[in-house]
């Protein structure tokens, strides 16, 4: 547990970590199960709530001295989650297409962030850090 305390900074860091794990679990469950069911909707709402909390909490983490590229991607992620949930509420023309598109990319972005986070734990300097982030993101998107 001491190692986790070294890489997770304070209560906001723990909140960010826990919501990310819950989003990963619920997002994976949604992806792997039948769409449109009550189960899908319930787990999907858990995913949405955790993604919104995860992204908002990221703005209170300042690992690079202020606003960084990771905050930019948190904004993109928020747009994706909102772009995926709003069509399911409004049920306008082609709502399913918008929901599928935005939620699919939301999950892909979440996994890209996961692999980037894991990969950067094995680098020695900032140059390797950025290459690892780029590599993990590109591989996740390609899959």
pLDDT digits (tens, 9 = 90+) for 73-126: 899 999 999 999 999 999 999 999 999 999 999 999 999 998 988 887 778 788
Q: What are the CA-CA distances from residue 72 to residues 45, 79, 111 (Å)?
A: 24, 11, 17
Q: What is the pLDDT averaged over residues 6-31?
A: 90
pLDDT digits (tens, 9 = 90+) for 54-74: 999 999 987 777 787 888 989
Question: What's the CA gap between 73 and 79, in Å, rounded?
Answer: 10
Question: What's the CA gap between 41 and 88, in Å, rounded?
Answer: 10
CB pairs under 8 A, 24+ apart, for 121-130? 121/7
Give the chain's mean pLDDT: 90
What six digits make up the tokens of 49? 């709530």
pTM, two decimal places: 0.86
List, in order, residues 6 or more apart from 42 with CB less than 8 Å away: none
């Amino acid at each position: 547990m001491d190692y986790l305390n070294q890489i997770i900074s304070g209560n906001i860091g723990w909140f960010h970590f826990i919501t990310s794990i819950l989003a990963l679990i619920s997002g994976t469950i949604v992806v792997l199960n039948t769409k449109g069911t009550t189960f899908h909707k319930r787990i999907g709402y858990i995913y949405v709530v955790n993604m919104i909390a995860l992204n908002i909490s990221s703005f209170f983490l300042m690992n690079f001295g202020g606003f960084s590229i990771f905050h930019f991607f948190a904004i993109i992620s928020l747009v994706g989650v909102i772009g995926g949930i709003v069509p399911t509420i409004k049920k306008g023309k082609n709502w399913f297409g918008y929901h599928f598109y935005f939620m699919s990319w939301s999950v892909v972005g979440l996994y890209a962030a996961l692999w980037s986070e894991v990969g950067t734990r094995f680098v020695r300097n900032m140059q390797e850090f950025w290459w690892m982030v780029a590599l993990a993101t590109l591989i996740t998107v390609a899959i």
